[in-house]
């Protein structure tokens, strides 16, 4: 009878294990069919294909794993694998990222994508990597607009006294304080109920999120202020990534790039079709907005959140990108 040494059995077990399927969960705060859900599916399909089926997985949408801040903490302790999140709460972990959240800084989608896909974007992904997280790729949420249940917003005066939910983001809160609203930071999974119950009068989000969350059910007015470009980012747990071979890490990077491309394509589609959808569902869309007074107040009150700590060099670099 052939005797197997213990070493041979252990090697066989290790080999088998290394080829065993590994389940990856991609968490995010929006609906499965949202621009993040489309990105999660693209991530998983690409990873499964590149790995020959070694890695498979599923998305955990709709805040099942918690709000974005909770999910980022989950990555740091290794309880979560991959998360697609806006940069909203990320500044609490990587303050340098606040530069991307500054109001009226990005001119348009082309400008934002060029910055994020260039050296500035890479520098900030590297900063994320210095804070017990792995920034795999910049994805996208979109330009944010104000919705509310009380009255049309056309000027900063119209914001006065509005209880407006913001993300847990110091720059955004300072910006809305400066514009005259009363900002209330809140995790996204709590928002729809808070709007339904009148805990807050309004909120601000891109058309992509307003449509994904069906906010027309609890909000009457949307003002296309476009006051902030909201990046999203594909983050991974450093504990997971440290357990992978270099080749496997490359698969995760490629999958994240595919995710970002799919999300951006969906943002493009919804930017075209989304406003009509809001109107079809009964929202009054205010488009005749002079952004200058909003920008003056928002910049005066919020840029210091970033420049007090990091100066204005990064801001000038972002503005200079063509």
Scan residues 201-230 and list those touching ligand EAX (CB under 6 A). 205, 209, 230
The mark string for 13-42 relative to ligand EAX (x by CB under 6 A, - otherwise) is ----------------xx------------
- Residues 208, 203: Cα–Cα separation, whole Å: 14
- Residues 244, 250: Cα–Cα separation, whole Å: 10
Nearer to ligand EAX, 267 or 297 (CB): 267
DSSP 8-state secondary structure symbol assigned to residue 25: E
Please check whether residue 5 is in contact with residue 13, taking contact to mean a CB–CB distance below 8 angstroms: no
List Cα–Cα distances, 90 to 13, 52, 101, 285, in angstroms. 40, 33, 10, 30
- Residues 62, 37: Cα–Cα separation, whole Å: 9
To ligand EAX, the closest distance from the beta carbon of 89 in angstroms equals 8
Nearer to ligand EAX, 148 or 205 (CB): 205
To ligand EAX, the closest distance from the beta carbon of 78 in angstroms equals 22
Nearer to ligand EAX, 65 or 209 (CB): 209
Please check whether residue 289 is in contact with residue 224, taking contact to mean a CB–CB distance below 8 angstroms: yes
Nearer to ligand EAX, 75 or 209 (CB): 209
To ligand EAX, the closest distance from the beta carbon of 279 in angstroms equals 21
CA contacts within 13 A on the Cβ side of 124: 28
The site that binds ligand EAX (CB under 6 A) totals a number of residues, namely 12
To ligand EAX, the closest distance from the beta carbon of 205 in angstroms equals 5
Nearer to ligand EAX, 113 or 165 (CB): 165
Scan residues 77-116 and list those touching ligand EAX (CB under 6 A). 85-86, 88
* Residue 9 φ/ψ region, left for φ over 0, alpha for ψ in the -120 to 50 degree band, beta for the rest: alpha
Instruction: By CB under 6 A, tell whether 68 contacts ligand EAX.
Output: yes
Q: Name the strand (E) or helix (H) holding 240.
A: helix 238-242
Site residues (vs ligand EAX, CB under 6 A): 29-30, 68, 85-86, 88, 141, 167, 188, 205, 209, 230
């Amino acid at each position: 009878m052939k005797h197997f040494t213990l070493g041979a059995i252990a090697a066989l077990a290790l080999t088998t294990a290394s080829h065993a399927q590994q389940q990856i969960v991609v968490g995010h705060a929006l609906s499965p069919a949202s621009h993040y859900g489309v990105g999660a599916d693209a991530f998983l399909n690409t990873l499964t294909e590149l790995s020959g089926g070694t890695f498979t997985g599923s998305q955990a949408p709709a805040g099942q794993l918690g709000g974005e801040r909770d999910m980022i903490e989950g990555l740091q302790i290794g309880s979560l694998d991959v998360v697609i999140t806006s940069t909203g709460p990320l500044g609490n972990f990587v303050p340098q990222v606040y530069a991307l959240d500054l109001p009226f800084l990005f001119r348009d989608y082309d400008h934002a994508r060029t910055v994020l896909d260039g050296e500035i974007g890479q520098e900030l992904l590297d900063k994320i990597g210095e804070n017990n997280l792995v920034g795999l790729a910049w994805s996208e949420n979109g330009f944010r607009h104000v919705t509310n249940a009380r009255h049309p917003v056309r000027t900063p005066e119209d914001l006065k006294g509005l209880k407006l939910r913001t993300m847990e983001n110091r720059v955004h809160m300072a910006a809305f304080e400066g514009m005259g609203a009363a900002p209330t930071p809140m995790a996204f999974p709590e928002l729809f109920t808070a709007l339904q119950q009148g805990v807050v009068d309004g909120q601000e989000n891109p058309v992509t999120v307003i449509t994904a969350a069906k906010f027309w059910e609890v909000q009457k007015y949307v003002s296309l202020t476009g006051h902030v470009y909201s990046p999203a980012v594909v983050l991974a747990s450093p504990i997971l990534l440290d357990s992978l071979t270099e080749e496997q890490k490359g698969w995760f990077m490629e999958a994240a790039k595919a995710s970002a491309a799919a999300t951006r394509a969906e943002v493009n589609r919804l930017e075209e079709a989304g406003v009509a959808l809001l109107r079809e569902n009964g929202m009054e869309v205010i488009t005749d907005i002079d952004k200058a007074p909003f920008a003056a107040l928002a910049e005066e009150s919020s840029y210091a959140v970033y420049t007090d700590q990091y100066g204005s060099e990064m801001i000038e670099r972002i503005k200079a990108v063509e």
